[in-house]
Structure 1
Amino acid sequence: MPELPEVETVKRGLTKNIISKKIKSVQINTDKLRYPIDKAQLLSLKNKVIKDIQRRGKHLIIILEDNLQLIIHLGMSGVVKIVNTSEYNKIKHDHIILELSDDLNLVYNDPRKFGYWLVNTNKMPLEHKVLAAHGVEPLTDDFNAEYLISKLKKTTRKIKQTIMDNSIVVGVGNIYASEALFDSNILPTRASNTITKKEAERLVTSIKKILDKAIAEGGTTLKDYKNTEGKPGYFTQQLNVYGRANQNCYICSTKIESLVIAQRNTFFCKKCQR
């Protein structure tokens, strides 16, 4: 599933290519993604100019004129591509195509169809129901040790579950939760309310560092993810624990272990993490 670094990479690619472009046509090739598609609302975007691209957690928000916003979630396998209109050839799972001015197409491809496209007419996009309950952004000053401790002391959930809770901090997905916990030497199975302030400081620093590094590398491609140019992310080469079960830890040579926490595969080093 594309996580915050992957969505941020897509956002930057869109910002570079489609700001000020007009939507010339909207082609819809499916009735349903995760939710049924409101075709009338999507078709109403024709002739609207794209004013800005924002990100909230794992959501892309395309700001259009006339107080319209297009909220996109990539789901498990969604890919947003920018291709030249004159060179575009439709392939399987190209579900939505926006033809833009200046010979550009924005194409949404999603084999598993767990993503969604929602048109919002509220002047305040962050009040939309899919965004309203989100917690703080991890790369902002609002995400700090004091904030995190205030949330951790209220729950006995495993620490990995808590930092993946979008109502607390948004966008720290499965890959980066495992990597940040390794970087901060904290076992993913620790009860949240046992984390000390010093450990919380390390964890906040690690989350920010890991996410920043992943963004710099264009995200992580394990299977489906590609950026707007169709290129994979290269942070895969820097993963210390994720996907490395039974391989030697790069720090201490202990075998990396894995278990399932809240239905998500979790990877850790029992010697480096406590």
Structure 2
Amino acid sequence: MFTQYKDVLTHLPEYSKNIFRKGYFKWLFGQMKSWSKFSWGLIGFNFIVQILLAIQGSATVPLSHTIIGFLSANLSVLCVVGISNKSAIQGWFGATSAICIALNAYLAHNYADMTLQLFYLVLLDIFCILSPSWNDNIKVHSIGGLKGWLKYIVFFFVAWGIIYYIYGLLNDPRLFLDSLTLAVSLTGALLEFNLAKEQFVFWILGSVITLALWGQTAMMGDANWALFASYSVFLLNDMYALFGKNGWFRKQEVVTGFGDKQVTITQ
């Protein structure tokens, strides 16, 4: 994975041309035609739920919060569905949803989740946009047994301790869940960067914890239920990616290392 970052950064002018080439956006949106019925079902279900939540929450939540929550929830679901279908358009949906969720998190004082969204924007979404072939031919490997897990578990607890202390200084109103969300997601990102197939454990765990975070945020009156609903869809999407016969993890080839994969630029 780090080889891909190096390749994009050292050939930035060439990769930037991908965005400006003729027919780029037509090609991007054209990828959505091949998305599975399950994916479109999730998108449609989430959209209907978000409309109902926006109407229901309009009486108690400021209009600006409602609009931002609505955009965050729908764009983020489009992003995760794009990831499951390995579509390059996920980068654009990811970038726009990250900005919206970060703003939503700031308004709700979930500062760790805000940091997480900015992390996704800078280190994942922008690179997916620059390199349309970012997800092509990715090969994952197993981290092994207990010894392989140990370093990631240690990383998680160290990260959580540091995050808990830092955001405690900011008087985060939901410090436990907010800091836990960031620590779990950073550990999942580290597994992803190392192309470990076990990353799904932390992504699923992260979805559950973030679900609890935004549920608590809504109950405390700092947001509506929009992101709670969208993270419920994330969890369903994670289950499909793990257990579905065409799921993302079943499509990956398990190897002993990343090898010398060269990222090519789409013409």
Instruction: Name the TM tier (shorter chain).
Output: under 0.3
Question: Which is greater in Rg?
Answer: 1
Instruction: Name the one with the larger helix percent.
Output: 2
Q: Which has the higher contact order (CA 8 A, sep 6+)?
A: 2
Question: What TM-score, normalized to structure 2?
Answer: 0.22
Instruction: Name the one with the larger strand percent.
Output: 1
Question: What TM-score, normalized to structure 1?
Answer: 0.21
